[in-house]
Amino acid sequence: MSEKNPFPNEKNSGHVWDDNLRELLNEPPTWWRIGFHLSWILVIVYTLVYPSWPMLTTHYKGMTGWTSIGEYREDMKDLKKIRAKYEDKLPNMSAAAILADEELSNYSVSAAKVLFGDNCSACHGAGGSGNIDYPILADDDWLYGGTIENIVQTISYGRKGFMTAQASTLSETEIDELATAIYSGNPTSTSLFTEKACFACHGMDAKGMHAMGSANLTDGIWRFAAKDQLASIKYTIKHGINDTSDPKTRNAEMPVFGSKLDENDIKKLAVYVHKLGGGQ
């Protein structure tokens, strides 16, 4: 091929296609060579400046000592500075005072969203929307009271409900009658309510007592909500709540968070929960 090169005075490889297409042996362009040399120089500079080469037991740390975790910590410090304006005020204020302050309560709500997600929403659902067998926090039905102080106490010390299992003291028909009355929202309509001493916990008007955490039986909001609500009520009457003598008893226990979260986080959470819509 090369002996028949039709362009003998040209720096080409001697490969010619279609009569005049040929491969030239020109140097690469200057800008390309400069770019190439700059690239490998940059590689060396980079590996010297930043942590790079692996060694036997450790790795080369780089001239500047930069690490990504270090940068992250620096950024977190900056974030803390921004938050300090609010965070510094929180320890000296009660949850009620924070709730009353528009700016601080807004800050608490945005801070508590994450706390709620980490600690509360597994049981109470995102946004306090509730779960099967766990209370809704967005409504205004509070077994232990819905004031900000009540909420702080509930989070800090937890709660454990109790109701005696009545399977041995009530007959099937009595349970039916009582459950039907409760389901209709008017438990006092049956004499069983007073005869069987339900009132002792649930109150004479059957509206529950916050001090004991007993349920309001008249409002149509069910702590243990179910598709067949009547059957669910019967079950609760029969087996009670946290009654150790009955293996089929219902469980209702709010764990203690006072040991897990610090006081400020609990205040923030209380403000958040109070603002979900049912705070009193």
Alpha-carbon span 143 to 251, nearest angstrom: 15
Question: Contact at 8 Å (CB) between 201 and 194?
Answer: no
**Pairing relation of β-strands 21-24 and 12-17?**
antiparallel
- The reply to whether 278 sits near another protein by the rule CB under 8 A is yes
Residues 68-107, mask of contacts with another protein (x by CB under 8 A): ----------------------------------x---x-
**Binder of another protein out of 108, 150, 188, 216 (CB under 8 A):** 216
Question: Contact at 8 Å (CB) between 258 and 154?
Answer: no
- The reply to whether 223 sits near another protein by the rule CB under 8 A is no
Alpha-carbon span 250 to 215, nearest angstrom: 14
Closer Cβ to another protein, 139 or 243, answer by number: 139
- The reply to whether 25 sits near another protein by the rule CB under 8 A is no
- The reply to whether 133 sits near another protein by the rule CB under 8 A is no
Please, what is the minimum distance in Å from the beta carbon of residue 277 to another protein? 5
- The reply to whether 255 sits near another protein by the rule CB under 8 A is no
**Binder of another protein out of 14, 51, 62, 130 (CB under 8 A):** 130
Which residue type, as a one-letter code, is found at position 276? L
The helix (run of H) or strand (run of E) holding residue 21 is strand 21-24
**Binder of another protein out of 126, 200, 204, 231 (CB under 8 A):** 126
Please, what is the minimum distance in Å from the beta carbon of residue 109 to another protein? 9
Task: Kindly state the tokens that stand for 64.
Answer: 């500047």
Please, what is the minimum distance in Å from the beta carbon of residue 264 to another protein? 22
Please, what is the minimum distance in Å from the beta carbon of residue 258 to another protein? 26
Q: What is the DSSP letter of 255?
A: P
| Distance from the Cα of residue 46 to its chain's centroid | 41
In 3-state terms, the chain is what percent helix, strand and coil (to 5)? Answer: 50, 10, 45
Which residues form the interface with another protein (CB under 8 A)? 102, 106, 125-130, 136, 138-141, 216, 219-221, 275-278
